[in-house]
Structure 1
Amino acid sequence: MRTILVTGAAGYVGGTLTRRLLADPETSVVGVDLCEMDHGAEGVREILDHPRFTMVRADVRDTAALEPLLATSDAVVHLAAVVGDPAGKRDPERTRAINVGASQDLIAASKKAGIKHFVFVSTCSNYGVSDTDTLVTEDGDLNPVSLYAETKVAVEKALLAETELPATVCRFATVYGVAPRMRFDLTVNQFTIEALQDGVLEIYGEQFWRPYVHVEDAARAIELVLATPEKSIGRVYNVGDSGENYTKGMMYELLKERLPELEAKWVDINEDPRSYKVSFQRIADELGYSTTWTVPTGMDQIIAQARLGAFPDPKAGRFRN
């Protein structure tokens, strides 16, 4: 039996990952999450009574609360963070304290506890602005243009410099898709629900490129990394698929195919200049990873669930960070 500690377990990716890990009868999960946001423990509410799941409501900055949990864990998946640019801008000092300070403390505590594998979830936003004529690899220059990405880069550097803690860095593409704790402040999810319910999309920066990965595929990547420590420790992986780089203009066209009455309102706003196309060849070559979802099938999933009444209030606070 192995025990995996997952920080941010009640979140968008955390809830999906926790369920996938518990599908293995030889795995126990300790979830850590403060559950202070509007969605609370929604990501794990249905599994709170699972015999191999323990939910601890604690602040990731509280090292004293985490130390006894680390002492009985084999691996750590560190998801907890103030996620996304808007959330980071609201309180930069708190964002740095959680995303950098708490992460550095957790790295130190994990090393002290003898954790066998530390998986840090980072972001492809670290690439910021790059030449979109080529696919940027894990060895490409990091050019963060937001506080969120800056904090992720800082922790990556600290973790990779810590030679005594076996670790892997996973840089996620922008995540989308239906999850136990749903979010509608992520591009694919937001565009899809607004296209369906409002019939019009307000789009800026339609020419900028980003990569995307379904939340289930993101969780699957972490599972694979944990299952192959002999290959993944010491490595940095972009998580996604090289064919899943899209512009917002392309996403509008995909939604127009599904919702023919959809209209677009093109807006000229000079903000969020990130544009990058990413290669995901390393994780495919080294770990045999491949995705099972595409942006079009993810859009179909959201539309189908919405038409079944799954999201009656998608603009509610619990659907946003």
Structure 2
Amino acid sequence: MRVLLTGATGYTGLIVASRLMEAGAHVRGLASRPSELTQKLESTGDFTFHQGDLRDAQTLTEAVEGVDAIVHFAAIVGDPASAREPGLARQVNVEATKVLFDVADRSGVNHLVFGSTCSVYGRHTGGIATETTPVNPVSLYGETKVEAENYLLDQGGDVNVTVLRLATAYGVSPKMRLDLIVNQYVHEATARGEVTVMGPEAWRPHAHVQDLAQAVDSVLADPRKARQQIFNVVTENMQLKQVAALASAAHTGSVRINYRATVDDRRDYAVSGDKLLNSLSYKPGWTVAQGVHEVHNHLISAESSARASSGSRPATEAAQQDRAPRISASVARSRSTTTPDGPRRRPPTDPGTAPGIPGTTPPRQQRGRGR
């Protein structure tokens, strides 16, 4: 199979590229500029880099030529980035997606997998959101993804469209991101011994970056079942205070957790991933607890490497680049304890009194277990 992967140089895209190559696909990666990481992909696997701007129709026409499927992960990702440049967010997340579909349809592409987000659920306090739950985006980022989803699913034609609503990613990637909830909390605990949690009661769905890549692989492997379908890609739901407690526990020193009830981010949602688990061959392999330890160990290794090198870059930069694992979907893969129809674990118990803050207790759980 020949696959065009947009966003191939990103945090998730690099893992997806490696996973698809392991499955036997030839991957053509589209991004605005090459990097050392794309050069490694070209040297170690069946990968070809295609340079160009996603917003340019001619670039897309050239990139799509001869491919069987498209995995569209390129985007202005996240609420803060979209809010900073709303015009660019609309151009990339919506308009470029429309052009990409039209080019794919004219070129005879069989399958388009769209990387959307669970942020489309926004604020959902009525239980566990499923793919049939009405969307309720509370940010520009969520709004752009809803608009792109609707366009793709409404077109019909010969292109099989699959929408993957991705949970908040975590875990180690060759292009590390430390602004994602799990990664961020572990980094704060490890680097500063202090974690700040904005809106500790809020729920978020989570999935390891390796499991996100596996979801893409499972969808491409069975396009008939995935045709015109929306799948949530979620392995665990946790409140932010629960993630902070895990991040704190992984650090060998004392960690102070600061809870802030007031927060600008209004998102609060738990999401079911049962449809994907029950429909395709998807079998997630990570828990948040495992991911916390993976990221913690990665950061400690990067810190040790930075200290050992005279004139080295800051430890954070080293953690993001120098100590990245080899580009392979099999890196440090662990198995989680899941049942055939998905994770059934209850969230961690209430973290209780925040270390270092006598008498400070986060708000207690108001909803049931976070599936």
Query: Residue type of the partner of 2:72?
Result: H
SS in 2 for 1:289: coil
User: Structure 2 stretches of 5 or more lacking a match?
Assistant: 307-313, 322-371
Corresponding residue for 2:264?
271
Which deviates more, 248-257 or 291-300?
Answer: 248-257
User: Structure 1 stretches of 5 or more lacking a match?
Assistant: none
Where do 1:156-305 residues align within 5 Å?
156-164=149-157, 165-241=159-235, 244-259=236-251, 261-305=254-298
CA contact (8 A) 2:30 2:51 kept: yes
Where do 1:120-135 residues align within 5 Å?
120-132=114-126, 134-135=127-128
Q: Are residues 1:81 and 2:81 paired?
A: no
CA distance in 2, matches of 1:305, 1:255: 13
SS in 1 for 2:249: helix
CA distance in 2, matches of 1:224, 1:235: 13
Superposition deviation, residue 266 in structure 1: 1.8
Instruction: Spell out, residue by residue over 1:167-223, the C-alpha distance to the aligned partner (whole angstroms, 9 max, x if none).
Output: 100000100100111100101001001101100011110000000000000000000
Superposition deviation, residue 41 in structure 1: 2.7
Taking structure 1 as the reference length, the TM-score comes to 0.92
Which deviates more, 66-75 or 253-262?
Answer: 253-262
CA distance in 1, matches of 2:66, 2:94: 24
Superposition deviation, residue 309 in structure 1: 1.8
Tell which has more relative contact order, 1 or 2 (C-alpha 8 A, sep 6+): 1
CA distance in 1, matches of 2:174, 2:124: 34
CA contact (8 A) 2:164 2:233 kept: yes
Given candidates 22, 28, 31, the residue that maps to 2:29 is: 31
CA distance in 1, matches of 2:36, 2:138: 31
Taking structure 2 as the reference length, the TM-score comes to 0.80
CA contact (8 A) 1:78 1:120 kept: yes
Query: Residue type of the partner of 2:3?
Result: I
CA contact (8 A) 2:54 2:96 kept: yes
Superposition deviation, residue 317 in structure 1: 11
CA distance in 2, matches of 1:202, 1:58: 39
SS in 1 for 2:162: strand
CA contact (8 A) 1:124 1:173 kept: yes
CA contact (8 A) 1:160 1:167 kept: yes
CA distance in 2, matches of 1:314, 1:138: 40
Q: Are residues 1:14 and 2:17 paired?
A: no
Q: Are residues 1:152 and 2:145 paired?
A: yes
SS in 1 for 2:43: coil
Which deviates more, 64-73 or 189-198?
Answer: 64-73
Cα 1:212–1:30 shift into 2, 3 Å? same
Runs (4+) of structure 1 exceeding 6 A deviation are none
CA contact (8 A) 2:182 2:247 kept: no
Query: Residue type of the partner of 1:185?
Result: D
Corresponding residue for 2:300?
307
Query: Residue type of the partner of 1:98?
Result: V
Mark the structure with the bigger radius of gyration. Answer: 2
CA contact (8 A) 1:195 1:255 kept: yes
Cα 1:192–1:42 shift into 2, 3 Å? farther
Identity across aligned pairs (percent)? 35
CA contact (8 A) 1:192 1:299 kept: yes
CA distance in 2, matches of 1:156, 1:232: 15
CA contact (8 A) 2:4 2:27 kept: yes
CA contact (8 A) 1:122 1:169 kept: yes
CA distance in 1, matches of 2:131, 2:100: 24
SS in 2 for 1:308: helix
Cα 1:314–1:142 shift into 2, 3 Å? farther
Q: Aligned-residue CA RMSD in angstroms?
A: 1.9
CA distance in 2, matches of 1:314, 1:95: 31
CA contact (8 A) 1:201 1:263 kept: yes
Corresponding residue for 2:328?
none
Aligned residues: 311
CA distance in 1, matches of 2:186, 2:44: 33
CA distance in 1, matches of 2:262, 2:316: 22
CA distance in 2, matches of 1:7, 1:298: 26
Superposition deviation, residue 56 in structure 1: 1.2
Superposition deviation, residue 24 in structure 1: 2.9
CA distance in 2, matches of 1:105, 1:318: 36
